[in-house]
Amino acid sequence: MLATAEKTKAAQSLATAASAMAQNEVHLRDLMADEARCMKMIVEVDGMTLDFSRQRIPAEVLPHLLDLWSEVDGAGKIQAMKSGMPINSTEDRSVLHHALRAARESVYRDKDGVNTVELVWGVLDKIKAFSEKVRNGEWVGATGKALTDVVAIGIGGSYLGPEFIYEALRTDKTARESAGGRRLRFLANVDPIDVTRATEGLDPETTLVVVVSKTFTTAETMLNARTMREWISKKLGSDSVAKHMVAVSTNTEKVVEFGIGQENIFGFWNWVGGRYSVCSAVGVVPLALQYGFEVVADFLSGARAMDDHFFSAPAEANLPVLMGLVGVWNASYLGFPTRALLPYCQALLKLAPHIQQVDMESNGKRVKVDGSELQSDAGPVNFGEPGTNGQHSFYQLMHQGRVVPADFIGFKESQQPVELEGEVVANHDELMSNFFAQPDALAFGKTAEECRAQGIPENLVPHKVFTGNRPSSSLLITKLDAFQLGRILSLFEHRTAVEGFVWGINSFDQWGVELGKVLATQVRSQLSKSRKEGASVSGFNYSTTKMMQSYLA
Ligand SMILES: O=P(O)(O)OC[C@H]1O[C@H](O)[C@H](O)[C@@H](O)[C@@H]1O
């Protein structure tokens, strides 16, 4: 079953438990009737409550999951990460995204002994000063106008996290007030349509462009950066670029080569993986420009609070560890290939796209750290959509089709409460009625007997039966502000790490994205030669040749 832990006692107990459950058809209806069991599966940490009682984990199996964590030396692996050991072994890098949100006086050393927190605060101080200058109109554009709008260019990890945070805070009262009408747009796709969408209604005179790229070599980002440079130069002349473009990167040389001065670069480091970089200048520059540095500082404190919890809480009370163990159980023991992320909060509409990258780029692997092949699939397919929208889309499949383990997220308070006179409940309570109802509908289902008792005609009974026994966890959180948002981000980042630790994989490299890039280079050069010199398509397989010929015709 589990490659890394297949010989451990706990792994064997878990495998036995999983097959016994399948044979005995243990149903969540029975598991949920055991209140002592449920009590152990509801864990509260500073106003964030995780209820994983609706997972298909019998009371006696939970200790085996915790044993598995001990047997793979989970605590030791957390410590290795925390202390800067090069756990990203294929790139010989430390993994220190927690240092990005550490308190100024903390010390996290990288593999070479450098205190990364000092570096982090050097950049944070620079961002604070810069963002304040732009926001208060001290830093102006080439024609002397204040820069009220920002376009952040970047893709993958240099885009998804910042957009997720931007959207989540857009309707938060404090952040919204602080934004004061400023605009932030993202330009990610190399599709030229995205340039039009990102710049619609913007004027180069009042726009600042932030080019975000760890490597500063990503083809999409570089072409978009050149396109935006042209957009600015065309109207304001090429000398204006210095006032209208800044960069976030680890590759100073390439940024300078591009034409952005060293003083306008906000750096980060190779111990920050792209998908774990939202707390670095990658996210902090655009978000501080939009919401002000203080709001971003709250977000960083929230992430730090969850880091501290992750590093110190015992496994049985550790939210990322528990969620990670649930993930391993569902993916590797019960064999569920997918997982849904269902925030009952419209402001979290970009959570799922971000976690798709965090989780699938991290744990979508086929080999272990030592290069040997995994004997079972590791990370699941992640997808999601805010509730209640998802209910009117793919929940049908979740209720009566495939089993998709789900993570529900709900808040006690709305960012934007509405209560109409004469309505039964306030709008947020209406939303939350669904948050509480759906997990039970999935878990308990509806039997044929229940259908008949309701007078459903016999021919419709099979269509109206819900088999139930569909697992989910629920997270109930006070409210979505910058601080809680930081906790949520860190929680999901560490869940991914926990799962990777148990599977014994390197969750911090992403070699799987390389091959497509190489092939695109070959196609690009063919398209150029064909368009510019009329060269015929050659060197590709039959199908690609045919399709490219058709494209070029
Ligand atoms: O920040 P960049 O160097 O431009 O990289 C952007 C993205 O592209 C790569 O293909 C990786 O898969 C991502 O992890 C990365 O975040």
pLDDT tens digits, 139-183: 999 999 999 999 999 999 999 999 999 999 999 999 999 999 999
CATH number reported for the structural domain that contains residue 184 in this entry? 3.40.50.10490
**Residues 6 or more apart whose Cβ sits within 8 Å of residue 398:** 340, 404, 406, 442, 470
Ligand 1 in reach of 152 Cβ (< 6 A): no
Report yes or no on 14 lying in a domain: no
- What is the β-pairing status of strands 245-249 and 265-267? parallel
The ipTM of this complex is: 0.98
213 and 267 together in one domain: yes
Q: What is the pLDDT of residue 23?
A: 87
**Which uninterrupted H or E stretch holds 176?**
helix 173-179
Q: Per-residue pLDDT averaged across 499-506, rounded?
A: 98
**What is the per-residue DSSP string for 410-471?**
EESS-SS----TT-SS-HHHHHHHHHHHHHHHHHH-B-HHHHHHTT--GGGHHHH-B-----
Report yes or no on 19 lying in a domain: no
| Exposure letters 166-190 (e unless 16+ CB within 10 A, then b) | bbbbbebebbbebbeebebbbbbeb
Q: What is the pLDDT of residue 1?
A: 47
158 and 80 together in one domain: no
CA separation for the pair 131, 46 (Å, rounded): 32
Ligand 1 in reach of 156 Cβ (< 6 A): yes
321 and 193 together in one domain: no
Ligand 1 in reach of 215 Cβ (< 6 A): yes
Q: What is the pLDDT of residue 6?
A: 52
322 and 278 together in one domain: no
Mean pLDDT, the chain, as a whole number? 97
Report yes or no on 111 lying in a domain: yes
Report yes or no on 307 lying in a domain: no
pLDDT exceeds cutoff 90 at 45: yes
Choose the final residue of a domain: 276, 299, 322: 299
Domains of the chain: total: 3
Instruction: Please give the radius of gyration of the chain, using alpha carbons only, rounded to the nearest integer.
Output: 25
> How does residue 7 score in pLDDT terms, banded at 50, 70 and 90?
low
Candidates 97, 214, 269, 360: which one to mutate for ligand 1, based on the most atoms within 8 Å of Cβ?
214
What percentage of the chain reaches a pLDDT higher than 90?
A: 97
Question: Model confidence over 353-367: pLDDT tens digits?
Answer: 999 999 999 999 999
pLDDT exceeds cutoff 80 at 388: yes
- What is the β-pairing status of strands 406-411 and 338-343? parallel
Q: How many helices (H) and strands (E) does the chain have?
A: 23, 11
- 308 or 23, higher pLDDT: 308
Ligand 1 in reach of 161 Cβ (< 6 A): no
> How does residue 25 score in pLDDT terms, banded at 50, 70 and 90?
confident
Question: Model confidence over 209-234: pLDDT tens digits?
Answer: 999 999 999 999 999 999 999 999 99
Question: How many angstroms does the Cα of residue 155 sit away from the middle of ligand 1?
Answer: 6
What distances in angstroms separate CA 421 from CA 290, 428, 429, one per listed residue? 35, 14, 14
pLDDT exceeds cutoff 90 at 318: yes
483 and 433 together in one domain: yes
pLDDT exceeds cutoff 60 at 2: no
Ligand 1 in reach of 275 Cβ (< 6 A): yes
Question: Model confidence over 443-501: pLDDT tens digits?
Answer: 999 999 999 999 999 999 999 999 999 999 999 999 999 999 999 999 999 999 999 99
Chain centroid, CA 177 distance in Å = 26
Report yes or no on 13 lying in a domain: no
Report yes or no on 398 lying in a domain: yes
**Which uninterrupted H or E stretch holds 181?**
none
What phi, psi does 81 have (nearest 5°)? -65, -50
Taking alpha carbons only, the member of 65, 57, 62, 64 closest to residue 31 is 57
Question: How many angstroms does the Cα of residue 398 sit away from the middle of ligand 1?
Answer: 32
Question: How many angstroms does the Cα of residue 283 sit away from the middle of ligand 1?
Answer: 14
Atom of ligand 1 at shortest range from CA of 517: 10
Question: How many angstroms does the Cα of residue 302 sit away from the middle of ligand 1?
Answer: 25
Choose the final residue of a domain: 242, 269, 299: 299
Residue 342, beta-bridge partner list? 408
Q: Which two tokens stand for residue 455?
A: 């007078």
pLDDT exceeds cutoff 60 at 5: no
Q: Which range marks the domain in which residue 537 is found? A: 515-552
149 and 266 together in one domain: yes
216 and 105 together in one domain: yes
Atom of ligand 1 at shortest range from CA of 221: 4
pLDDT exceeds cutoff 60 at 3: no
386 and 493 together in one domain: yes
Planar angle of CA 345, 350, 354, nearest 5 degrees: 130
477 and 526 together in one domain: no
Taking alpha carbons only, the member of 285, 293, 394, 389 closest to residue 343 is 389
CA separation for the pair 495, 497 (Å, rounded): 5
Report yes or no on 9 lying in a domain: no
Ligand 1 in reach of 361 Cβ (< 6 A): yes
CA separation for the pair 235, 59 (Å, rounded): 67
Catalytic residues: 361, 392, 517
pLDDT exceeds cutoff 80 at 202: yes
Burial class (CB in 10 A: 0-12, 13-18, 19+), 121: middle
Report yes or no on 204 lying in a domain: yes
335 and 472 together in one domain: yes
290 and 258 together in one domain: yes
Q: Which of 104-108, 395-399, 474-478, 517-521 has the lowest mean pLDDT?
A: 517-521
Ligand 1 in reach of 469 Cβ (< 6 A): no
Question: Model confidence over 333-352: pLDDT tens digits?
Answer: 999 999 999 999 999 999 99
386 and 498 together in one domain: yes
Place of tokens 């619609």: 200
**Residues 6 or more apart whose Cβ sits within 8 Å of residue 61:** 13, 14, 17, 329
Atom of ligand 1 at shortest range from CA of 514: 10
pLDDT exceeds cutoff 90 at 376: no
Q: How many CB atoms lie within 10 A of CB 423?
A: 11
Choose the final residue of a domain: 264, 299, 334: 299
Question: How many angstroms does the Cα of residue 157 sit away from the middle of ligand 1?
Answer: 6
Q: What is the pLDDT of residue 547?
A: 98
What distances in angstroms separate CA 162 from CA 125, 141, 360, 368, 409, one per listed residue? 19, 24, 18, 30, 20
Q: What is the pLDDT of residue 530?
A: 98
